[in-house]
Copies of this chain bind each other. A is one copy, B any other.
Amino acid sequence: MKIMVTGGAGYIGSHTVLELLNAGHEVVVMDNLANSSEESLHRVAELTGKEAKFHKVDLLDAEGMKDLFVEEKPEAVIHFAGLKAVGESASMPLWYYRTNVTGTLNLLAAMEAADCKSIVFSSSATVYGEPEEMPLTEKINMDAQSCYGRTKEHIEDILRDLGASDSSWNIALLRYFNPVGAHESGRIGEDPSGIPNNLVPFIAQVAVGRREFLSVFGNDYPTVDGTGVRDYIHVVDLADGHLKALDFIAKNGGLHTWNLGTGNGYSVLEVLHAFEEACGKELPYKIVERRPGDVAVSYADPSSALADLGWSAQRDIKTMVRDHWNWQKSNPNGYEA
């Protein structure tokens, strides 16, 4: 298949592009490079011996996207592009809604104009909000607790309404838990610009000396050690889930929602200690205030993805932090030369 990957130069995007190329798909990447580097795609080319075509286009450039879709005629889209920092979203809501929601509406219009009607969308477990019941199943009502989460919720609403209005659309909503790790080669990985907003990249930057200490946002949650518990998933497992979801909707049509997580939860301090073991040193941390919009505990029921897609996460937390460390230590400044 010929597949357009928005945000394909980013963290999850680049790992997915790699798996798509290895599986024999033709890949076109569309990315504005706001929080990513084209270098990731050069390395994907090195690793696979195949090239993804690259276009620097922004989701807010509605006309540019239309032209691109008419020119490239992709058969399907995997839509990663978007803003993703919970804290930032609380202070800049209009920017988040515009980029994520209006951006996706522009993308869907471009797809429709080019008669490309298959999309795999990067949703997030954050749409679940703070339900009492765990694990999280796809049946739980959405109730995001942050602006970022609400942008994901809104896009899901849009795609559900679109699917209900026109059965020729094939739609997969993938609710990611917390992607960590890197390709086992250590050549591609997460390279956030500025201060990392996610736990493991922050720990990794502490481990290479780019940050002094880890800020742990709250240790008074009702969890094993008071720190927030999350379901972490290896980015290569996550990438694999996208390929399986795309295959499924291409064959079966319709709209489907799948959790992509391991089903296991680890606390911030448990992840920190696992990383310390992987890198062989103690890593300093400080307890600071909770972040607005964060919930105490969140882990997936990944059984739908297993049942429908035959997919389950293959890599455990040790592998995740080992691979993340492997990437970070050989690329202490990410993709920067």
In the bound complex, residues from chain B placing their C-beta under 8 Å from that of A102 are 101-102, 105
CA of A102 to CA of B100 in the docked complex: distance in angstroms? Answer: 11
> When the two chains form the complex, which single residue of B90, B97, B158, B165 contacts A158, counting CB atoms closer than 8 Å?
B97
Verify if A157 is at the interface (C-beta below 8 Å from B).
yes
> When the two chains form the complex, which single residue of B92, B108, B161, B165 contacts A165, counting CB atoms closer than 8 Å?
B92
Verify if A305 is at the interface (C-beta below 8 Å from B).
no
In the bound complex, residues from chain B placing their C-beta under 8 Å from that of A158 are 93-94, 97
Give the size of the chain A interface in residues (CB under 8 angstroms): 23
Verify if A329 is at the interface (C-beta below 8 Å from B).
no
CA of A162 to CA of B162 in the docked complex: distance in angstroms? Answer: 27
> When the two chains form the complex, which single residue of B98, B101, B161 contacts A93, counting CB atoms closer than 8 Å?
B161
| A contact patch SS | helix
**22 pairs, A vs B, C-beta closer than 8 Å:** A89-B161, A90-B161, A91-B165, A92-B165, A93-B158, A93-B161, A93-B164, A93-B165, A94-B108, A94-B109, A94-B112, A94-B162, A97-B101, A97-B161, A98-B105, A98-B109, A101-B102, A101-B154, A102-B102, A147-B161, A150-B157, A150-B161
A contact set with B: CB distance below 8 Å: 89-94, 97-98, 101-102, 105, 108-109, 112, 147, 150, 154, 157-158, 161-162, 164-165
